[in-house]
Amino acid sequence: MQKLLTPLYLAQMEVLRNKVRFFLISLLIALITLLVLFIAALAEGLGGGNREYISKLDADLLVYKADSDLLIAASRLPRSVMNQVRRVPGVRAVGPIAVSNAAIDTPLETPDADPLRVALLGVEAGLPGAPPIISGSPFSTNRAPEAVVERRVIQRLGIKVGDRISIRTDQGSGDETFEVLVVGLSDGQQYGLAPVVFLPLLTWDRVRSKTGPNSPLNLNLIAVQLEDPNDLAAMKALIPAQVKDVEMAGIREAYEALPGYKEQQSTLDTQRFFTLIIGVLVIGGFFQIQALQKVPQVGMLKAIGAANWMVAVAAIAQIILVTVIGVLLGGAATLLLASTLPPGIPIVFTGQAAVAAIVSLLFIGPIGGAISIRYAARIEPLKALGMSS
Amino acid sequence: MNEGFALSTESLVKSYELDGQKFNAVNSISLAVTAGEFVGLVGPSGSGKTTLLAMLSALLTPTTGKVIIDGTNLSDMSDKQRVEFRRKRVGFTFQANNLIPYLTALENVELMLRLNGELTAAVRTRSRDLLARLGLAARLHNLPSQMSGGQQQRVAIARALIHNPAVVLADEPTASLDTERAHQVVETFAQLIHEHKRAGVIVTHDLRMITYTDRVIQMRDGDVARIYTSRAEIRELAASGPG
């Protein structure tokens, strides 16, 4: 047992007696960790900000206008389509979703602040598409001057349920302001990276931006709940067969089709990948320099009877120790830094993304150090000690 | 030839090829060292003494011939067995880079016991005693960088002896020391070889150091040129200068 622990003893003693050197290597790993975790959080924040409302929808399928290429802004559906979809066998419930943009005037206490740009979504209370209410109540009627807002609106405006907000939109002839009562609060429901204000569908139709006075009410999407969610593929084919001029998408398909979503995620994934590669090369370089400096020492160890596996295990243990310390330092620094960022910055740490980033980071040390471990294991004691002929 | 000897060789040859020509760095050397005997290996550069020492320590495989330590023929061993044999039965000091720089004097000595899985409270005391015997009682917890070259060599000697090896080999242990320290180191080495009844072999350029040996093998061009056995002969050779 003692023989097995000897490499770990050597690794630990070298780190303890050269704290500054190994702390600097750990610091480097910590900086890489910070960068990777921030890119992961940014990817999650930006991706989440784009897809949050769609991904949380209490629906199985979304109905678009045919040939809209799953672009929500390009999809215009008359309200009558909702009834047609509802009548298709296997459909349990349908709900309208209408999308627009607006600005909310900031409270009088902060007159110099810019108005808050929001996504204005028209939905019907109790139907698919309406957000879950975590405090307050849903709309009283479909044309009430009421709003349900998501938590970011509350944070950014400093308002509460029961307050009134002023929504400003372009009505063709100029901006108009509509005052609505905040009756409910929903959880995070961003859409297109903007905080969301939900209005009853007919109120939404009155408030939304218009190009002229005779702009008919069209829905952008119809959210569909199925009797049996396992019938997704069959229903996706059945609804367009029975309802003219529509196309269908599942929830994931819908948010992946959001403009720029895939490109944004692949850009951030590429950044993360290259940060990890750079990390592997930098850490590898550090450990290789260290291995070169230790050639006579390793040669002596082998000459007095240390087996190759002992040398390799000592090197691996040291790399793992330094990497773990670096990742922990980097993780702590990330948490500290993230807590100081203003709420508007789209940085979101989710357990899954953070764990994936940390696991990949824990591999950069051993991968980067693999060449130096192999190098150390192959050191020839006679040459290292200058005894070769 | 090998019976009763701690270390012996039989017709030991190490050949190399240089520019397509074969030459023998060590040419059919047979020698024997008894337990408690301290042998000096001298000769000019390229005479084959370091190559011979490398074969005696199981670091280099002979082209032909045998190395027998404590009755075990090293030629019959695999690489793995040779590593284990070196760890258990051979003690070694080198010209430089003898010690692990991040371990104290005591930890460096104990490392040999750790490698063999033999570090117990009793042998820990033995390590301290041995270092004290070498005049390092006040340096037990010093790192190599906090010790002089002579003190470092003495720690290496303690490490070479602590695990009770059959043979103790030293490759130019005084090369980086001043004359006074060199004498101290080799004298102590010789005393311990005699006290602990180990077979000791020292390779040195400095002929003054052979004063402390029991027998001197002089090498030239891979062969044994002459063997000095009497005190008078050894003293005369030692007086001939630093080498």
Report the chain B residue with the minimal C-alpha distance to residue A384: B97
Report the chain A residue with the minimal C-alpha distance to residue B18: A389
CA distance A153 to A151: 5
pLDDT over 80 at B182, yes or no:
yes
HSE at residue A360, side-chain half, CA atoms within 13 A, is: 22
Of the candidates B49, B50, B52, B47, the residue with the CA atom closest to the CA atom of residue B13:
B52
Task: Report the interhelical angle of A19-55 vs A261-293 (nearest 10°).
Answer: 170
**Could A381 and B94 be called an inter-chain contact, meaning their C-beta atoms sit closer than 8 Å?**
no
* Highest mean pLDDT of the ranges A144-153, A336-345, B75-84, B139-148: B139-148
- Strands, sheet with B72-73, edge to edge from the N-terminal-most edge strand: B21-33, B7-18, B64-69, B72-73
Q: What is the pLDDT of residue A112?
A: 56
Of the candidates A92, A87, A97, A85, the residue with the CA atom closest to the CA atom of residue A57:
A97
CB B80 within 8 A of CB A307: yes
**Could A2 and B103 be called an inter-chain contact, meaning their C-beta atoms sit closer than 8 Å?**
no
**Average pLDDT of span A279-287:** 84
Q: What is the pLDDT of residue A110?
A: 58
pLDDT over 90 at B17, yes or no:
no
pLDDT band at residue B33 under the 50/70/90 scheme: very high
Report the chain B residue with the minimal C-alpha distance to residue A18: B102
pLDDT over 60 at A267, yes or no:
yes
Q: What is the pLDDT of residue B3?
A: 55
CA distance B49 to B54: 9
pLDDT over 60 at A22, yes or no:
yes
3-state SS assignment for residue B199: strand
CATH of B7-239, one of 3.40.50.300, 3.40.50.1000, 3.90.1150.10, 3.40.50.2000: 3.40.50.300
**Average pLDDT of span A5-18:** 93
**Stretch among A84-93, A160-169, A354-363 having the lowest mean pLDDT:** A354-363
pLDDT band at residue A389 under the 50/70/90 scheme: low
pLDDT band at residue B1 under the 50/70/90 scheme: very low
CA distance A304 to B98: 10
Write the CA distances from A55 to A101, A258, A346, integer angstroms. Answer: 20, 11, 17
**Could B59 and A387 be called an inter-chain contact, meaning their C-beta atoms sit closer than 8 Å?**
yes
**Average pLDDT, rounded, for chain B:** 90
**Could A1 and B97 be called an inter-chain contact, meaning their C-beta atoms sit closer than 8 Å?**
no
**Average pLDDT, rounded, for chain A:** 89
pLDDT over 60 at A335, yes or no:
yes
Q: What is the pLDDT of residue B243?
A: 55
Out of A17, A305, A386, name the one closest to residue B115 (CB): A305
Q: What is the pLDDT of residue B226?
A: 94
CB A119 within 8 A of CB A197: yes
Of the candidates B232, B227, B230, B188, the residue with the CA atom closest to the CA atom of residue B209:
B188
Q: What is the pLDDT of residue A158?
A: 83
pLDDT band at residue A154 under the 50/70/90 scheme: confident
Mutate to test the interface with A, among B16, B23, B93, B114 (most CBs of A within 10 A): B114
**Could A304 and B92 be called an inter-chain contact, meaning their C-beta atoms sit closer than 8 Å?**
yes
Stronger pLDDT, A210 or B86, i.e. the higher one: B86
Backbone angles phi, psi at B194, to 5 degrees: -70, -45
pLDDT band at residue A108 under the 50/70/90 scheme: low
Q: What is the pLDDT of residues A173-223, one digit of tens each?
A: 788 899 999 999 998 888 988 899 999 999 999 999 887 777 788 999 999
**Could B59 and A305 be called an inter-chain contact, meaning their C-beta atoms sit closer than 8 Å?**
no
Q: What is the pLDDT of residue A386?
A: 77
CA distance A275 to A283: 12
Of the candidates B79, B114, B57, B77, the residue with the CA atom closest to the CA atom of residue A310:
B114
Tell me the DSSP string of A164-214: EEEEEEE-SSSEEEEEEEEEEEES---BTTB-EEEEEHHHHHHHS--SSTT
pLDDT over 80 at B41, yes or no:
yes
Quote ipTM for the complex: 0.88
Amino acid at B35: A
Cβ contacts of residue A281 below 8 Å, gap of 6+? A368
pLDDT over 50 at A67, yes or no:
yes
**How far B39 CA lies from chain A's nearest CA (Å)?**
19
pLDDT over 70 at A300, yes or no:
yes
**Average pLDDT of span B148-168:** 92
**Average pLDDT of span A31-41:** 88
Provide the residue ranges of all domains of chain B, joining segments of one domain with +: 7-239
**Average pLDDT of span B210-223:** 94
Q: What is the pLDDT of residue A109?
A: 58
**Average pLDDT of span B46-65:** 91
Out of B84, B96, B119, name the one closest to residue A2 (CB): B119
Residues A36-67, buried b or exposed e (16+ Cβ, 10 A)? bbbbbbbbbbbbbbbbbbbebbebbbbbbbee
